[in-house]
Amino acid sequence: MNIDSNLNKLLKIVEKPARYIGGEFNSVKKNLEKVKTRFGFAFPDTYEIGMSFLGLQILYGVLNREDDIYCERIFAPALDMEAEMRKSGLPLFTLESKTPIKDLDIVGFTLQYEMSYTNILNMLDLGGIPLTKQERGEDYPIIVAGGPCAFNPEPLADIFDIVVIGDGEELIVTLCKKHAEWKKSGKNKEELYKELCHIEGIYIPSFYEPEYNPDGTIKNIKKLYKEAPDSIKKAIISNIDDAFFPENAIVPFIEVIHDRSVVETFRGCTRGCRFCQAGMIYRPVRERSKETIETLAKKMLENSGHEELSLLSLSTSDYSQFEELATSLMKMCKEHNVSLSLPSLRLDSFSFKVLQEIQGYKKSGLTFAPEAGSQRLRNVVNKNITEENIYSSIEQALELGWSNLKLYFMVGLPTETLDDLDGIVEIAKNVVDLNYKINGRKGGRFNVTISVSSFVPKAHTPFQWHGQDTAKEFRKKHMHLKDKFKSIRGVTFAYHRTDTTILEAVFARGDRNVTKPLIEAFKLGCSFDGWSEHFNNDLWLKAFEMTGTDVNFYASRERNYDEILPWDHIDSGVLKEFLIKENEKAKVETLTDDCRLGCVDCGVSKRVKCEMGGSHA
Amino acid sequence: MHRYIIRFSKLGYIKYISHLDLMRLFKRTFKRMGIKLEYSQGYNPHPKMGLAQPLSLGYESSGEILEFETVNNINDENIIKTFNMAMPEGIKIIEFKEIKAEGKSLAAITEFAEYRIKLPFKDTMNQGIEVMNFINQSEIISQKLNKKKELIDLDIKSMIKELAINKKEDELIIFAKLDAGSVSNLSPELLIKAIGDYYQIEYDRSEVEITREAITFTKKLQF
């Protein structure tokens, strides 16, 4: 079938057809005859979201730098396009060469959030590829996964042939090169996996098989291939300054979520918030030098023509030379007539100076993330900021003319009581009062948004044993807050829906038994679960019921330290003893310092040199 | 200040990017090429750049015209080549000219646009389409939505400057020169509707291919 003529017809019918055409500036065309390994980078959401993801640009660039590898992009079609594709029998295709994904050598999915899992199944299905590796056998492409959710790959263990754990930009090239050699050899897939499993960061799920206790917990993880490693160490790029960075990023035709040039300043985070998975799995902190960042920023802007530059890291202000970097980038952006956007700033006096300069009279909203409403609970989660920190920043913001403030909190944190929630209300009230004090009763438009998300315990964090609140408990807490906020003027209260929170918890800490309800939910029609307008909880409940899955076993059950967790054989570099120690410290409301002030012995320095550990001691 | 026009084609998949996407694409391309555009004065400055007439999403074109004003003089002998290196596949610059800085915008002097339309049709009823019958009607009736979103009849004949219909085995090839611009404007969609209705052709809109071939102006562009 000719994809082009069929596609051409569909594109006249669907919304935003440019999502599906490829050919953007800096996208790569290669002679298909001359490449050995054809890799499809699959992002399980729409084009606009996927193209805003820096990881895609990095891996696309690093793979296409190799002559014998061709990396193309695959996105989840929007619902209207999917319906048309199914109706006309058009299989899911790559944007670059419009090749059906079934004809590629490797299809690699990035796992950014659990709620995208049904989209992965849907994309395989749309591509005419059987969902499980048993069904695929020797035919069909090799299906690979990576990204943060790959640190607990078990819910998708039957789907993926290979899971890539940790930093991907070197590992993915090795994987493709090994594949090219293997392809020439004519051996079967198992032979390739046997070779790959010795590489740091590569996990072959089929080489392991969990055995279960009668209560459903894991008794033991049995190895089916005895040469496979007992635990899979994540891949770590020790020197990020020398690592590949996409100076020639693809510039989308249509507006995407983040339509700008982005430079990653550092990877990892030293703060050690106990709920934060990113803060644990991306250790150690590795910084790019200021000079490299400046050079990259300049080149990226020149090569893209973008109007905006942004920096990416887990905590912008923690960069060692942040003041110097911000100052020099501000100057550069001004010269190039480009706006600068600095996300997740710690709001100290320097940041305000920067924000004043880059936002000028067009002040966007300011966001604060105290995470918890009381000092007690902030100590529990190790969010090392005090009430004074919060109020003094807010005072400055108000004095400088910001009138739209947003405060983020979490509900359902370990040890949380209604008193802690009342603390959120208290903070909101105090912010409103501060505004009256500074701007007077007629101070013009002013709004505080209090946004609460629901806590999802994640694998590889100190709270990985914690039993999540039940839907009922979440609802009670939301209602409690909603009630209290009713009477406060100038405050907008927003909270997340509970059903997706529970689902996220099931897949964040699920074992191989949650694959069945996942497949069932997909078959019942679930996709785009992260989009509230598409999410259908009834179908999910039905899928759990049909497969006899106890949601509480995964979400709200408290685990003990002796239990073998489904992801225990995945080694993030952070020791389990450290996570236990942190969880115990949480129970007694004790803080652990930022590890720049002194190494906290998380274990990662045993793997690689940890340059920031103790750097500010 | 320097004022230029470029004539370019927009062919292939890139026909699915919208007018605004295309404007952003040009803006970024100029930036990549180091060409500094003039900006309008005021609270919300925007670059001085515009198409003679926006092209509908899904239409190809072999003769689009963009005008733009730059701060500095462009003196690159191979400017067309330089442009084409910086452009994505599907956009090709055919002509580059400096024009007089004074004068109305191209949009204001646009008069006609020429389209080539491929309308698939199956002569199943063997109705024997006689193309001249359509063209020779005293009025050509099409339908469009008015502001109240009601379908109203409209005589489009006076807005058709030239029309030729060529009957092929399974498609009609239509060439039409239609009013374009701010004074009088006829969308080819209305013409297609009129033809489809007149001959009672059943067709799927997704199979119709439209290419704009040229835009002409009330006065000759002053170079």
What is the per-residue pLDDT across A551-589, written as a single tens digit (0 to 9) for each?
A: 999 999 999 999 999 999 999 999 999 999 999 999 999
CA B90 to chain centre: 15
Residues from chain B that touch A247, judged by Cβ atoms under 8 A, are none
Residue A538 CA: distances (Å) to CA of A469, A500, A541, A542, A553: 20, 11, 5, 6, 19
Identify whether residues B202 and B172 lie together within a single domain: yes
Q: B175: which strand partners?
A: B116, B164
Residue A22 has pLDDT above 60, yes or no: yes
Q: If you count residue pairs, one on A and one on B, with CB atoms under 8 Å apart, how many are there?
A: 63
Q: What is the CATH number of the domain that holds B192?
A: 3.30.70
* A10 touches B: beta carbon within 8 Å: yes
Identify whether residues B61 and B34 lie together within a single domain: yes
Residue B223 has pLDDT above 60, yes or no: no
Residue A356 has pLDDT above 90, yes or no: no
Residue A444: its pLDDT value, please? 73
Q: Which residue has the tokens 């969880």?
A: A583
* Domain assignment of residue A26, yes or no: yes
Stretch 288-327 of chain A: residues touching chain B, C-beta under 8 Å:
302-307
Contact B77/B67 with Cβ under 8 angstroms? Answer: no
Please name the residue of chain B whose CA is at the shortest distance from the CA of residue A307.
B28
Is the backbone peptide bond immediately before A153 cis, with ω within 30 degrees of 0? no
**What does the DSSP 8-state code read for residue A89?**
T
* Half-sphere exposure in the Cβ direction for A33 (13 Å, CA): 0
Identify whether residues B115 and B209 lie together within a single domain: yes
The backbone torsions φ and ψ at residue B2, rounded to the nearest 5 degrees and listed phi first, read -130, 140
Q: Based on the number of CB atoms within 10 Å of its own CB, is A286 exposed (0-12), middle (13-18) or buried (19 or more)?
A: buried
Residues from chain B that touch A29, judged by Cβ atoms under 8 A, are 89
Residues from chain B that touch A9, judged by Cβ atoms under 8 A, are 204, 206-207
Summarize the confidence of residues A192-221 as an average pLDDT.
97
**What does the DSSP 8-state code read for residue A604?**
G
Query: Mean pLDDT score of chain A, rounded to an integer?
Result: 95
| β pairing state of B49-51 and B60-70 | antiparallel
**What does the DSSP 8-state code read for residue A563?**
S
Q: Which residue has the tokens 């406060």?
A: A488
Residue B130 has pLDDT above 80, yes or no: no
Number of domains observed in the structure of chain B: 2
Instruction: Quote the CA–CA distance of A235 and A571 in Å, as a whole number.
Output: 10
Summarize the confidence of residues B3-23 as an average pLDDT.
97
* Domain assignment of residue A18, yes or no: yes
**What does the DSSP 8-state code read for residue A112?**
-
* Domain assignment of residue A272, yes or no: no
**What type of residue is A216?**
G
* Domain assignment of residue A604, yes or no: no
* Domain assignment of residue B161, yes or no: yes
For residue A3, name the pLDDT band (cuts at 50, 70, 90): confident
* Domain assignment of residue B222, yes or no: no
Identify whether residues B50 and B99 lie together within a single domain: yes
A12 contacts B206? CB cut-off 8 A: yes
B90 contacts A304? CB cut-off 8 A: no
DSSP string covering A441-486: TT----EEEEEEEE----TTSTTTTPPPPPHHHHHHHHHHHHHHHH
What strands, in cross-sheet order, belong to the sheet with A261-264?
Answer: A261-264, A308-312, A339-341
First to last CA, chain A: 65
Largest pairwise CA distance in chain A: 78
**What does the DSSP 8-state code read for residue A251?**
B
Q: What is the CATH number of the domain that holds A189?
A: 3.40.50.280
Residue B1: its pLDDT value, please? 85
Summarize the confidence of residues A415-430 as an average pLDDT.
96
Q: For residue A557, give the nearest of A446, A477, A464 by alpha carbon.
A: A464
Residue B127 has pLDDT above 70, yes or no: no
Contact A141/A100 with Cβ under 8 angstroms? Answer: no
Identify whether residues B89 and B115 lie together within a single domain: no
The contacts of residue A214 (CB under 8 Å, 6+ apart) are none
Summarize the confidence of residues A282-310 as an average pLDDT.
96
Residues from chain B that touch A13, judged by Cβ atoms under 8 A, are 206
Contact A581/A587 with Cβ under 8 angstroms? Answer: no
- Give residue A225's domain range: 3-166+168-233
Residues from chain B that touch A251, judged by Cβ atoms under 8 A, are 28
Q: For residue A59, give the nearest of A131, A107, A126 by alpha carbon.
A: A107
Identify whether residues B40 and B95 lie together within a single domain: yes
* Domain assignment of residue A176, yes or no: yes
Q: What is the CATH number of the domain that holds B28?
A: 3.30.70.580
Instruction: Compute the nearest-CA separation of A307 from chain B (Å).
Output: 8
Instruction: Quote the CA–CA distance of A561 and A546 in Å, as a whole number.
Output: 31
Instruction: Locate A97 and state its tokens.
Output: 């060469």
**What does the DSSP 8-state code read for residue A531?**
S
* Domain assignment of residue B223, yes or no: no
* Domain assignment of residue A382, yes or no: no
Query: Long-range CB contacts (< 8 A, 24+ apart) of A52-56?
Result: A52/A256, A52/A257, A52/A258, A52/A259, A53/A110, A53/A112, A54/A262, A54/A264, A54/A312, A55/A110, A55/A147, A55/A168, A56/A110
* Half-sphere exposure in the Cβ direction for B75 (13 Å, CA): 2
Q: Which residue has the tokens 């007089």?
A: B100
* Domain assignment of residue A59, yes or no: yes
* Domain assignment of residue A100, yes or no: yes
Identify whether residues B32 and B51 lie together within a single domain: yes
- Give residue B80's domain range: 2-103
Identify whether residues B131 and B185 lie together within a single domain: yes
Q: What is the dihedral of CA A379, A385, A390, A391, to 10 degrees?
A: 80
Residue B129 has pLDDT above 70, yes or no: no
| Tens of pLDDT, residues A454-495 | 999 999 999 999 999 999 999 999 999 999 999 888 899 999
